[in-house]
Amino acid sequence: MGVYIARRLAATLLVMALVGVFIFLLLHIAPGDPAAVIAGDNATPQQIADIRHQLGLDLPVPVQFGRWVWQLLHGNFGISIFSQAPVLTLIEQRLPATISLTLLTMCFAAVLAVGAGVLAAWRAGGLLDRGLMAFSALGFSVPVFVVGYLLIYVFAMQLGWLPVQGYAPLAAGIWPWLSHLLLPALALGMAYVALIARITRASMLEVLAEDYMRTARAKGASASSMLLHHALRNAGVPIVTVIGIGVALLISGVVITETVFNIPGLGRLTVDAITNRDYPIIQGVIVVFSGAYVLVNLAVDLVYTVIDPRIRY
């Protein structure tokens, strides 16, 4: 197991390196110039050139990339072009909001989706099954920002139950923290719930058709025992896999969700950085997101051994 983890961590470093190269080159070949944004609309070409020189943007791309990598190796994500603050500091300030939103979404989505998938498989072909699958299809079809605005209109503006936007840290209290995250988590989790529920249903149907499940039913095993102790555990590997893969949905959706609900997280920081062509912030945030995704998938692989003892690395 230790050798496997070491190999995966080494592969993670390789993946992060490739992501870094791709993102750096993509940003520098994309249209737009941060120096022109800083200088303003009335700036002369010479003023823009001076700003480019001050920022080091007039250096060859390989030299700029080498400097950035050297800074990363020393734990330095660079300096924001616009705020002149260390990128790592900006990420640390925004990270708690994004982590709170992501973890709350994952918890509620996993519990709701797995439960819905199990019930749909148990009542396959029935009204409950059809209703849950229709909800799953709807979750895939409706964009996150549409769901977000609908939730704001109903629960914040019409009913007044929850805040319209913003974020309260956990230090402010459980309810202020939770009340600001409920609507964003619901909006962000719609597609996630739909994905997990469909995979759970398909995996459960496959397991429920096995001979040992018929034997358990013939021996008089209760429905809860059959579903939870026998079927769900044997269907767990595909479910855990899709939960890990779904993190990519959360990473992409958190950018839109934080913008809609005005949450000061990494997603909102990314949108502002893209608008201003702030290269160091964009690169730093993408490195953090990529590292989180790779580590989550490593954790999923390790969970396999707990769910199914036959799996060995």
Please give the mean pLDDT across all residues of the chain. Answer: 79
Structure tokens at 90: 């900006």
Across the range 12-25, mean pLDDT stands at 77
Q: Which residues have C-beta within 8 Å of that of residue 111, sequence separation ≥ 6?
A: none
d(Cα 48, Cα 34) in Å, to the nearest integer?
9
Q: Is the pLDDT of residue 305 over 80?
A: no
Q: Is the pLDDT of residue 47 over 80?
A: no
Across the range 227-233, mean pLDDT stands at 69
Report yes or no on whether pTM surpasses 0.85: no
User: Could you tell me the residue ranges of all domains in the chain?
Assistant: 2-73, 93-307
User: pLDDT-based confidence at 162, cuts 50/70/90?
Assistant: confident
- The least confident of 74-78, 201-205, 303-307 is 303-307
Is residue 255 exposed (0-12), middle (13-18) or buried (19+ Cβ within 10 Å)?
A: buried
Across the range 111-135, mean pLDDT stands at 80
Q: Rounded to a whole number, what is the largest CA-CA distance in the chain? A: 85
pLDDT of residue 1: 63
Across the range 34-54, mean pLDDT stands at 72
Q: CATH homologous superfamily of domain 93-307?
A: MetI-like (1.10.3720.10)
Structure tokens at 186: 């619901």
